[in-house]
Amino acid sequence: METGNARHERKAVPTQRADAWNDIAYGWHEWIPDMHNWYLPATDLMLDLAHIEIGDRILDVATGDCDQTIEAAKRVGPKGHVLAIDLAPEMLEIGARVARDSGMRHIETRVMDAQNLELPEASFDAAICRFGLMLLPNPVGALKEISRVLSHGARVSVVVYADRGDPEFVTAVSVVRRLISLGTNPSSAKDLGTPEEVQRTLEKGGLRKVESHLLHLPISLDSAHECVRYLQATSPSLAAMVSQMPVDDQRKAWEQVEAVLSKYERNGRFEVK
């Protein structure tokens, strides 16, 4: 038996996650040109492995503001269709605008929880998810839902961070957690950090014939200071941790993060490889 309070709490969790991403939606979009270039090799491989063809119907899960959605839409062409879903409506609003400005009329955006897809069975030819699966509270549950809405023989192609695959973020989180006495455990988003963990998760989600590929995606910026700006604009978990501090301490925390990140400065550039 499920009480009213239990139902309310279950609905509240996705709303809280959505609010966190809505808060950084415009900051995220500001950095999309850089992230597009950094992640393009992973995006291309993800789409290649999905075996996307002209005319296909594609589900893009945790789409953000539709950067990879547009790349998928280019592959399916105007006779195809890409449904981009995310919990954060402000992210999707930006994505829908960018898609329209790009002339992509065959992209649809809908606010939807990946763990509770309001979609009919066997209605898509492929599903993609770039840097989103490891952020979901229940990746296996989401994969089961994704599998349900795919046609027979369709593919799921995901991109996740490898263990410590984003050292600039891991470093910043470790500094901040230490300052607020939370220890140095970097992030719950590292649950899919190894090929073995990825395979186990995908198989529990009902997928078979899993293959993994390891990519190195270098990040290049002008300085550690610019990297701090990037993290402030794009990381809701960092923002939430820093916001626990008094205002003066927040400034000092970011200064400490920048000082530690300066180890990645080489030859007048900030580079993480």
C-alpha of 262 from chain center: 26
What average pLDDT score do residues 43-70 get?
97
Give the pLDDT confidence score for residue 10 in this predicted structure. 34
Quote the pLDDT of residue 182.
67
Q: Which residues contact 6 (CB under 8 A, 6 or more apart)?
A: none
Q: What is the mean pLDDT of residues 7-36?
A: 78
Give the per-residue pLDDT at 165.
77
CA 123 to chain centre: 23
What does the pLDDT read at residue 164?
A: 74
Mean pLDDT of 97-120: 95
User: Is 28 within 8 Å of 91 (Cβ atoms)?
Assistant: yes
Mean pLDDT of 206-230: 95
Of the candidates 199, 75, 45, 74, the one whose C-alpha atom is nearest the C-alpha of residue 133 is 199
Q: What is the mean pLDDT of residues 121-143?
A: 96
The answer on pLDDT for 9 being more than 60 is no
Q: What is the pLDDT of residue 14?
A: 63
Beta strands in the chain (DSSP E): 57-61, 81-86, 107-111, 124-130, 150-159, 219-221, 265-266, 269-272
pLDDT for 11 equals 41
What pLDDT score was predicted for residue 30? Answer: 97
pLDDT at 3 over 70: no
Q: How large is the average pLDDT for residues 243-269?
A: 94
pLDDT at 190: 45
Q: Between β-strands 124-130 and 57-61, what pairing exists: parallel, antiparallel or unpaired? A: parallel
Would you state the pLDDT for residue 245?
92
Q: What is the pLDDT of residue 117?
A: 97
Query: What is the percent of the chain with per-residue pLDDT over 90, rounded to a whole number?
Result: 84
Q: What pLDDT does residue 2 have?
A: 32
> pLDDT, tens digit, for every residue of 156-214?
999 999 887 789 999 999 999 999 886 555 454 546 888 899 999 999 999 999 999 99
Put simply, whether the predicted model's pTM sits higher than 0.85 gets the answer yes
Average pLDDT along the chain = 90
